[in-house]
Amino acid sequence: MPESLTKSRLFQNYARRPIELVKGQGTKVWDADGKEYLDFIAGIAVLALGHANPQVNATLKEQSEKLWHVSNLFESSGQERLAALLTSGTHFDHAFFCNSGAEANEAAIKLARRHTGKHHIVTFTNSFHGRTFGAMSATGQDKVQNGFGPLVSKFTHVPFNDSEALRGAVNEETAAIMLEIVQGEGGVNPTTPEFAATIQELCDTHGILLIVDEVQTGIGRTGTRYAYEQTVLKPDIISLAKGLGGGFPIGGILGTAEVGASLTPGSHGTTYGGNALGVAVSHTVVSTVFEPAFLKEVAEKAAYLKDKLSAKYEVRGMGLLMGLVVEDSAAFAADLQAKGLLVVPAGATVVRLLPPLNVSYEELDQAAAILLG
Ligand SMILES: Cc1ncc(COP(=O)(O)O)c(C=O)c1O
């Protein structure tokens, strides 16, 4: 809190760290006292191209001088251009834009129910899908739901990576299975190949829709455009946010032509979704990240860092969504912060490393030196 304020007038729903970050450039940030940090939180996997990226700033400035916002009552070539970029070379046909990950998951859940005419959705323990009612009800963590019930009905939470449990949980009433390819908030837990195969088989056999929550894993974070591309999964719908805007709030879903038919005019919407500034910034971020050479570098940098850190830690995750198993994640993160490296816990015994995707090898070396020191 700034010194001039003696009492916070904010709701105390965040356990904030007692520093304020006031400036950022690339992977570096500075606090109000001028202390420099390597930012391996990046807004929790948001700043795909780091802080104050010149191309992103230029896009924001240019668009801000042209048009900030018009209603979705009107045509939007900016949304069309971004939708084409996100779906190009995929099996998806449609995009819908909103403002956050939770909203994207709400849209995915609503679309799955409307398309199938069914209500039951299977999600997994330790998943995280957001804080709105549908997304919170989908989330498989009590601590997210405590005190807020009754939740939206017809969600079943099944143990993650447990194929037998999943087989027992789906039936002819199941509209969708929804998962993260790597559970981010829940401890950096990747889906096993065997579990992915079971999910796809059950979806194919029972006509169940597959929703992949790519809010944290999408837009290059794992070294491919979307994390599902590294699995056998063929989702009907994916949700996006975080890296999609590189720091500008924007979320969205992508869906197949088949499910697209169920979002008819008036069935769903949002005032700000697909805002002109948001889609312009997102297009610059995504077109940079989706360059094959850029994605290849993300994978190479992740392998480079993982190789170094494996000497001392159990390292898990995919690409630059990396988890280190430690004894006490909060104490560990606090110690690293004092040493100039910002990381974020994912549960009690895992810390996440989520640097900007364009982090340099020199910065990876600096972070590794702190972590191995
Ligand atoms: C996998 C996943 N889904 C959904 C969300 C919710 O996104 P938002 O905070 O933008 O609502 C998050 C946020 O951490 C997430 O990691």
Residue nearest to atom 4 of ligand 1 (CA): 129
Residue nearest to atom 7 of ligand 1 (CA): 101
pLDDT of 169 reads 98
Q: Is the CB of 215 under 6 A from ligand 1?
A: yes
CB 317 within 8 A of CB 342: no
pLDDT digits (tens, 9 = 90+) for 341-351: 999 999 999 99
DSSP 176-201: EEEE-SEETTTT-EEPPHHHHHHHHH
Task: Among 215, 217, 344, say which to mutate for ligand 1: greatest number of ligand atoms within 8 Å of CB.
Answer: 215
Q: Is the CB of 130 under 6 A from ligand 1?
A: yes
Q: In what order do the strands lie in the sheet with 28-31?
A: 21-25, 28-31, 36-39, 341-342
β 36-39/341-342 pair status: parallel
pLDDT digits (tens, 9 = 90+) for 194-244: 999 999 999 999 999 999 999 999 999 999 999 999 999 999 999 999 999
Within 8 A by CB and 6+ apart from 264, the residues are none
Distance CA 329, CA 336 (A): 10
Residue nearest to atom 3 of ligand 1 (CA): 129
Q: Which helix (H) or strand (E) covers residue 166, if one does?
A: helix 163-169
Radius of gyration over every alpha carbon of the chain, rounded to an integer in angstroms: 20
- Ligand 1 atom with minimal separation from the 214 CA: 1
pLDDT digits (tens, 9 = 90+) for 173-194: 999 999 999 999 999 999 999 9
Residue spans of the chain under pLDDT 50: none
pLDDT digits (tens, 9 = 90+) for 148-162: 999 999 999 999 999
Task: Among 216, 221, 272, say which to mutate for ligand 1: greatest number of ligand atoms within 8 Å of CB.
Answer: 216
- Ligand 1 atom with minimal separation from the 249 CA: 10
pLDDT of 4 reads 58
Q: Is the CB of 101 under 6 A from ligand 1?
A: yes
pTM beyond cutoff 0.85? yes
β 120-124/174-179 pair status: parallel
Tell me the CATH number of domain 56-289, given options 3.40.50.1220, 3.40.640.10, 3.40.50.2020, 3.30.70.120.
3.40.640.10
- Ligand 1 atom with minimal separation from the 180 CA: 1
Q: Is the CB of 213 under 6 A from ligand 1?
A: yes
Q: Is the CB of 128 under 6 A from ligand 1?
A: yes
Interval between CA 129 and ligand 1 midpoint (Å): 5
pLDDT of 6 reads 78
C-alpha distances (whole Å) from 71 to each of 79, 127, 312 are 12, 34, 53
Q: Is the CB of 104 under 6 A from ligand 1?
A: no
